[in-house]
Amino acid sequence: MTGEALPSVGFIGIGVMGGAMAGHLMDAGYKLRVHNRSASKCRVLADRGAELMASPGDVSAASDVVITMVGFPKDVEEIYLSPGGIVERARVGALLIDMTTSSRELAAGIYEAARARGVSACDAPVTGGDRGARDGTLSILFGGDEADYERALPLFRVMGKNIERFGPAGSGQTAKLANQIIIAGTMLGVCEGLAYAEKSGLDAAALIECVSSGAAGSWSLSNYGPRILKGDFAPGFFVKHFVKDMALAGESAASAGLSLKGLDAALEQYRRLAESGGAEDGTQGLYKLYRGREA
């Protein structure tokens, strides 16, 4: 976009991650319009000059690019496909980017509905948690047309570092669910390994430091392990959203003829945690179950 005016950007979903992502876009000079179901969460951005809008449809009608980062597939479907929603009110030629983790089928449906109105749509879920959002180092997994990928890249490079197009609409969601399947097994291993170490009388902090550089090392162990030992279960990514993602992954795997026992085990444990009051914890809150404490 060198030498051209930056497009106006609408950002819907100013939560733990969305607020930081939108802030980076403002830092890069994009004119921002924002909406969140709880308007108070937009206050920091509004104080910086973002225009607060009354509805997702209002954001869409006033923006060249619309980015969404909401909670659940039902929220995505509602804001995009409801009468007066994002697709219906989008400008011809606008680009709609859903960065929520949702389903391949819904992403493809939004793509088709948008195309019928002369609007481009794509799915670009992210991974990296609250830290990646704050640092602008998210991984962004894209599904959609090549031309839309090129168009979105300048925005993505403000919010993330590892950016990849995986194929047509819906492919970004499939890639994100694969990511969540990997994390599910990893988090089980981190929590069970640390629980075993503590129960056996080891210095669990020393264990993390020692094994993190070997085959047991992982981002989850290095970043969540120290938080676990401090009893810090604040959300970088909510348990309730991880349960949603794992359920979507299980459904998608089943439709592909796969039975994923590790995913099933992780989902069972995380559902137990959510049902005992830990739905608003970060994913490292799973450790509460291994310490014998309900959430």
Residues recognised as catalytic: 176
Alpha-carbon distance of 17 to 131, in angstroms, equals: 9
Residue 120 tokens read as 């481009």
Burial class (CB in 10 A: 0-12, 13-18, 19+), 69: buried
| Cα torsion angle, 165, 111, 67, 152, sign | positive
| Cα torsion angle, 118, 124, 125, 128, sign | negative
Phi/psi of residue 250, each to 5°?
Answer: -65, -40
**Which residues partner with 32 through β-bridges?**
9
Alpha-carbon distance of 114 to 86, in angstroms, equals: 9
CB 6 within 8 A of CB 31: yes
